[in-house]
Amino acid sequence: MFSFLTEILIKNGKGIHAYRACAERGYEAAGEKPDAAAAFFLLARSAEMFVDMNERMPITSKDIDAAFAQFQSNVEALDSAWTNGSERETTKALNFVAHSLMTRGT
């Protein structure tokens, strides 16, 4: 359900342009899919935070790989919870992503 956002990053080179495109599409999806709006909003916000923190900074390929791995982990957690379908699982996954954003910045 959310993995198309990871694919946007891969397709666009995992750099700033990629995260910007990912954030735009994520926010759009939050508006289009009310049942998953919170999840899309968090993923979009995390992509946007990556842009805000790293634009015009000397980001290395190692940093890029680490940020991508974290984003992918967030997407997988949300995908798994939404597939499982329980409200408890989705809440847990949302908290996992929000906590990751606040502690790691992605």
Partner 1 sequence: MFSNAFADRELIAEMTARMLLEVNAVHFNSDKPYMFTSGLASPVYIDCRKLISYPRIRETLMDFSVSVLLRDVGFEQFDAIAGGETAGIPFAAWIAQKMGLPMQYVRKKSKGFGRDAQIEGDITDGQRVLLVEDLTTDGGSKIKFCEALRRAGAMVNHTIVVFYYDIFPETQKTLAEHDLTLHSLATWRDVLRVARKQGHFDAGTLSEVEVFLNAPLEWSGRNGGSTEILK
Q: Where does this chain bind partner 1 (CB under 8 A)?
A: 12-18, 55-56, 58-64
* Rounded Cα gap, residues 33 and 31, in angstroms: 6
Q: How far is the CB of 12 from partner 1 (least distance, A)?
A: 5
The residue (of 20 and 101) whose beta carbon lies closer to partner 1 is 20
* Separation CA 72–CA 64 (nearest Å): 12
Between residues 59 and 94, which has the closer beta carbon with respect to partner 1?
Answer: 59
State the minimum distance, in angstroms, from the CB of residue 15 to partner 1: 3
Give whole-number Cα distances, 76 to 10, 37, 57, 58, 71, in Å. 15, 16, 28, 28, 9
The least distance separating partner 1 from the CB of residue 33, rounded to whole angstroms, comes to 24
Instruction: Give the C-alpha distances (Å, rounded to integers) separating 43 from 40, 51, 58, 60, 72.
Output: 5, 13, 24, 22, 10
User: Rounded to the nearest whole angstrom, what is the least distance from the CB of residue 41 to partner 1 in the complex?
Assistant: 17
